Amino acid sequence: MVRRTLERWSALDLAEGLQLAHAVAALQALGVLDAMREPVTAETLSASHDLDPELLRGILEYTASRTNLVRKTDRGFAISEHYTAQARFLLNLYAGAYADNASRLATLLRRPALAGSMIDLVAHARAFDASEAGGGALASIVTQLRLNHVLDLGCGAGALLRELAADNRGFVGWGLDRNPAMCKAARVRARQAGLAARVKVFHGDGWNPGASVPPRVLARVRNVVASQFVNEMFRGGTSRVETWLRRMRRLLPGRMLVISDYYGRLGHGSHTMRRETLLHDYVQLISGQGVPPPDSDAWLAMYRAAGCRPLHVIEDRAATTCFVHLVGL
C-alpha cells in the first residue's frame, strides 16, 4: 500500500463540500439525476418532477460548475460519465443513509446511544440494492472452498447468495438481515433470478440468529458467512464481538465461519491511510458501530479469546485493508 499524506481541507472546502453534498443528494433522492441521462432543460425537469424551476436551475448550475457528476450543454443539463454505479452507491450510503448522524453530531456527543436510530434504513437498502457489485472475491473464495448450506449474516440485498446459487445448481443458502427494506430487496432479486427456491431470506438480527432463523434451518446450516457485519459491533472495544462469537459457538458448534471485513485505521495511529477507509471509519464511529481493530493480530486474538479457532487469513495488501478470515466455531 502506498504511503501518502492526505490533503487537508480548508474552511472554504468544508463549507462548499457540505452544500454540494446536500445538493447532489437531494437531486438523487428526487430522481432528477436519473432523468438526466440525456441533456434536458431545468424547466422540463421542474415540470416533470413538480419542482421550483428557479431553484432547480441554480442547483444544477452550481453542481455542474463544482462537481464532475453533472455537465451543462447547449441543450440543457446531463449526468456525466462519472455518475457511475459506484458514485450512486457512495452518495446513497454516506450522504444518504448516514446524513442524519452527521448533521446531529451535537446530539450524539451527549447521547451516543441514539446513533443507530438515526440511520436511514431505506437509503441504506437503496445503496446496496442499486449497487452492481456481486459477491466478488468472497464469492470466489466460498466457491473454491466448496462451501454449501450457507447462512449469510447481514446479507443485505442478497448479492452473495444469488451469485453462489446462480453458479451452482446444488447450492442452498439463507440470508438474515435486520433491515426490512434490505430483506424485501433480497427476496425480490432472488425471485427475479429464479432462485427463490434455494435462497431464502429472514428478517432478524445477526447478533442473535437463533431468534429469527427456524430451528429446522439452523440444523441444515453447515457454514456461516459474515460479510461487513462484524464491524458493526466495535463500539467500546471487542467485548461485544467476543460475546457474539461465543453465542455462535453455542448455536452452531463446529461450523465454519467466514468473516469478510476490513482493518480500521482511524484512531489506530496508522501511517497508511486511504480516503475511502478513513471515511468509512468515521461513519462507523458516528453511527455507533465503532472502528474495527487495525490488523490480523488483533482480530485473531479476539477469536481466540472467544474460544474460536483461527484457520486461515486472506488479505488484500495491494489496495485496501479488506480481508477474509476463516474461523472454526
Over residues 33-80, the pLDDT tens digits come to 999 999 999 999 999 999 999 999 999 999 999 999 999 999 999 999
Percent of the chain with pLDDT over 70: 96
pLDDT for 320 beyond 90? no
CA 272, distance to chain mean position in Å, is 22
Please give the Cα distance from 328 to 296 (Å, whole number). Answer: 16
- To the nearest whole number, what is the mean pLDDT of the chain? 94
Please give the Cα distance from 157 to 309 (Å, whole number). Answer: 30
pLDDT in tens, 247-274: 999 999 999 999 999 999 999 987 667 8
CATH (residue range 7-83): 1.10.10.10
Please give the Cα distance from 326 to 329 (Å, whole number). Answer: 10
Q: Which fold has domain 125-328?
A: Rossmann fold (3.40.50)
Q: Where are the domains of the chain?
A: 7-83, 84-124, 125-328
Three-state secondary structure call for residue 178? coil
Three-state secondary structure call for residue 321? coil
Tell me the pLDDT band of 1, cut-offs 50, 70 and 90: very low
Amino acid at 16: E
Please give the Cα distance from 317 to 139 (Å, whole number). Answer: 19
**What is the predicted pLDDT for the residue at 217?**
98
Cβ–Cβ < 8 Å for 235, 269: no
The answer to whether domain 7-83 and domain 125-328 are alike in fold is: no
What is the pTM for the complete model shown?
Answer: 0.89
